[in-house]
């Protein structure tokens, strides 16, 4: 049985977790466990809550550890219970993975030192603060560590990992089963595609302050 453990914290971006979970849960012979400091419901950044399956203390050893991101990462960086759990689980896991800004929780746990990694484009410049070397891409593999870019890249990461574990044919079957065939109505999903003006406007409205908060949290937690 392959145990897939997702780490949950307040302010998580639910799609960072639920996207890959939907795909990875179909990995043959697997079970999915969502873990948090306690068994209480955890509020996501969408306004609704998710209920973990286990408290950290009761979570069995993961074969696949997945750490999602979200605006709540800045606070989670300073939660020693969460960081210690990630570090302990990673020590015995076959795969250590993250989606979006979850990479900074891996880094805070000392798991990205000297590794190539990716994250959401608005935070990529901060990866060096946790010892990682930024490599652009939706999915970046470095040994048994896999990091995914922002939010929706978690689905690509999940398919990549399924192919590593069960073969490409199985990954393609799951892709077909879930009809993952993205054709977005707009071509604005990356800074390059969106253009400098739109990217800078979004950064000014959302991400400049968010990245500064992340940088301060990283500084305090080191």
| Radius of gyration, alpha carbons of the chain | 16
* Side-chain-side CA neighbours of residue 92 (13 Å): 11
54-67 CB burial, b ≥16 within 10 A, e <16? bebeebeebbbbbb
CA–CA separation, 215 and 52 (whole Å): 28
CA–CA separation, 23 and 13 (whole Å): 17
Place of tokens 């065939």: 181
* Side-chain-side CA neighbours of residue 201 (13 Å): 5
Distance of CA 137 to the CA centre of its chain: 14
CA–CA separation, 90 and 111 (whole Å): 8
Active-site residue flag, 66: no
154-185 CB burial, b ≥16 within 10 A, e <16? bbbbbbbbbbebbeeebbeebbeeeeeeeeee
**Catalytic choice (46, 66, 79, 100):** 100
Task: Report the catalytic residues.
Answer: 100
């Amino acid at each position: 049985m392959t145990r897939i453990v997702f780490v949950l914290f307040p302010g998580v971006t639910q799609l960072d977790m639920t996207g890959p979970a939907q795909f990875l849960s179909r990995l043959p012979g697997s079970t999915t466990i969502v873990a948090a400091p306690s068994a209480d419901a955890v509020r996501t950044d969408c306004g609704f809550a998710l209920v973990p399956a286990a408290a950290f203390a009761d979570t069995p050893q993961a074969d696949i550890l997945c750490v999602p991101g979200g605006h709540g990462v800045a606070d989670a960086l300073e939660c020693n219970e969460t960081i210690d759990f990630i570090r302990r689980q990673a020590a015995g896991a076959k795969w250590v993975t993250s989606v979006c800004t979850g990479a900074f929780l891996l880094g805070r746990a000392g798991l990205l030192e000297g590794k190539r990694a990716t994250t959401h484009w608005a935070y990529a410049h901060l990866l060096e603060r946790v010892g990682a070397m930024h490599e652009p891409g939706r999915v970046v593999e470095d040994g048994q560590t896999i990091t995914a870019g922002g939010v929706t890249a978690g689905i690509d990461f999940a398919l990549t990992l399924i192919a590593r574990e069960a073969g490409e044919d199985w990954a393609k079957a799951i892709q077909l089963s879930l009809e993952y065939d993205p054709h977005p109505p707009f071509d604005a999903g990356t800074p390059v595609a969106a253009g400098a003006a739109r990217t800078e406007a979004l950064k000014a409205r959302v991400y400049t302050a968010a990245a500064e908060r992340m940088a301060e949290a990283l500084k305090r937690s080191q």
